[in-house]
Copies of this chain bind each other. A is one copy, B any other.
Amino acid sequence: MSTTTTSVAAMADRIRAGSQVSLARGLTLVESRSDAATELLAEIWKDSGRAHVVGITGPAGSGKSTLVLRMAQEYLTRGMRVAVLAVDPSSTYSGGAILGDRIRMTELAGEKDVYIRSMASRGATGGLSRAVLDGIVLLDAAGFDVVILETVGVGQAEVDVISVAHTVLVVSVPGLGDDIQAIKAGLIEIADIHVVNKADRPGADLTVKQLRESLRLAHNLASKWDVPIQKVTAATGDGVAELLDETAKHRTWIGEHGALKDIERRNAATRIRWAAEALMAGRLRTGAPAFDAAVEALIAREEEPRQAAARLLTAMAVDPTDINGRGTR
């Protein structure tokens, strides 16, 4: 354990110092959900909490990849460091760059203030959400001012993933069908900002009008944030500066109106539950001496299940790093 802790501490130092190689290794570690990943997250946790996490979702063909590229370039122009985390719950490929990333990486080659990474589901339910939330901590601690969380598809898994973001952009385009895809996909409710991409196309104003109408119908009275509809043309960069202004405005607004705190609370609550589950899974497994002893006590009727569980959880807490339950009883 001490060797791992030492190398993890060194990795954390290098990530803080801005090493993209160490960051990449850290993200791979985080995807593995190993003990070392937990160590790294514990080590680096206090350095996180500063980045603005911007989620982007929208149907295939809405030009999200190009939009994210332009946004990243505009952030760089403004002297900000930006990371892109592209998530694809429907794909099991991970650990490298997907096609869109390669194109973007070419355009952004040599920029040390930008970092792009893909994450894909590894089959485990909720596994991607966890890897994403952990990945954001690393990128945040590495000093990126903005983390753009981009989803590839538009399903429930994407909505779950994107819900950890501070500001959610939903992208629509004119002419993909009679109706707005975002409305069909049930994305109206989660949007903090609506983006109409390819706004130079005919029908852009109709798309804006339809979005405005559906916003009026779906208006959430609890929120006082007035959801803007921003027209952009990612291909030329038109409207991207204004989109970044709206995004920054939203960040300021949620900070002033308690909504940021709500998101932070929800994410922190999720993290504590995951950490507790991980501690429990390590301790409450066949082969862990304390657990095996509790099982025998249960069979002998010396204890009932809740007592046994409570006792094991106490013992566990004595040394949280002793996840195998080999230490105290």
A280 cross-chain contacts in B, Cβ below 8 A? 273, 276-277, 280, 313
Whether A269 sits at the interface, judged by CB under 8 Å, is yes
Q: Is A291 an interface residue (CB 8 A)?
A: yes
What residue in chain B is nearest A273 (Cβ atoms)? B284
> Given that A46-B304, A280-B280, A307-B42 are contacting pairs, would A298 and B313 also be in contact in the complex, using a CB cutoff of 8 Å?
no
Contact residues in B for A305 (Cβ distance below 8 Å) = 41-42, 45, 268, 271-272, 274-275
State whether the Cβ of A221 lies closer than 8 Å to any Cβ in chain B. Answer: no
Structural contact, A307 and B284, CB atoms closer than 8 A: no
Is the CB–CB distance between A306 and B275 below 8 Å?
Answer: yes
Residues of B with C-beta under 8 A to A295: 265, 268-269, 272
Name the CB-closest residue of B to A265.
B295
Report the separation of the CA atoms of residues A316 and B23 in the bound assembly, to the nearest whole angstrom. Answer: 36
Assess the A310–B306 pair: CB atoms within 8 A: no
User: Given that A306-B42, A307-B320, A317-B310 are contacting pairs, would A272 and B298 also be in contact in the complex, using a CB cutoff of 8 Å?
Assistant: yes
- A272 cross-chain contacts in B, Cβ below 8 A: 284, 291, 294-295, 298, 305, 308-309, 312
Docked complex: A172-188 residues within 8 A CB-CB of B? none
Name the B residues within 8 Å of A268 (CB-CB). Answer: 295, 298-299, 305
- A173 → B minimal CB distance (Å): 37
State the oligomeric state as a number of copies: 2
Of all chain B residues, which has the CB nearest A310?
B320
B interface footprint on A55-95 (CB within 8 Å = 1, 0 otherwise): 00000000000000000000000000000000000000000
For A49, list chain B residues within 8 Å (CB): 299, 301
The bracket for how many chain A residues form the interface is 35 or more
Query: Which residues of B are found within 8 Å of A313, using beta-carbon distances?
Result: 276, 279-280, 313-314, 316-317
Q: In the complex, A275 Cα to B294 Cα: how many Å?
A: 12
| A311: Cβ under 8 A from any B Cβ | yes
Against B, the Cβ 8 Å flags (1 = close, 0 = not) of A248-279 are: 00000000000001001100110111111111
- A38 contacts the other chain (Cβ, under 8 Å)? yes
- Whether, in the assembled complex, A286 has its beta carbon less than 8 Å from a beta carbon of chain B, the answer is yes
How many Å lie between the Cα of A247 and that of B274 in the bound state? 44
Chain B residues lying within 8 Å of A271, measured Cβ to Cβ, are: 298, 305
Residue on B nearest A306 in the bound complex, by CB: B275
Q: Which residues of B contact A296 (CB under 8 A)?
A: 265
Chain B residues closer than 8 Å to A318, beta-carbon distance:
314
Taking a contact as CB atoms under 8 Å apart, the answer to whether B299 and A320 are in contact is no
Docked CA distance A298–B268 (Å): 6
Residue-wise interface mask of A (146-174) relative to B, using a CB-CB cutoff of 8 A (1 in contact, 0 not) = 00000000000000000000000000000
Extra contacts, 5 of them, besides A265-B299, A280-B313 (Cβ < 8 A), are A269-B291, A271-B305, A275-B306, A311-B317, A313-B317
Listed in ascending order, the chain A residues whose CB lies under 8 Å from chain B are: 38, 41-42, 45-46, 48-49, 261, 264-265, 268-269, 271-280, 284, 286, 291, 294-296, 298-299, 301, 304-314, 316-318, 320
Offer 15 A-B interface pairs, CB within 8 angstroms, sorted by A: A45-B304, A45-B305, A264-B299, A265-B295, A268-B299, A269-B291, A272-B291, A272-B294, A272-B308, A273-B280, A275-B310, A280-B280, A309-B320, A310-B316, A313-B314
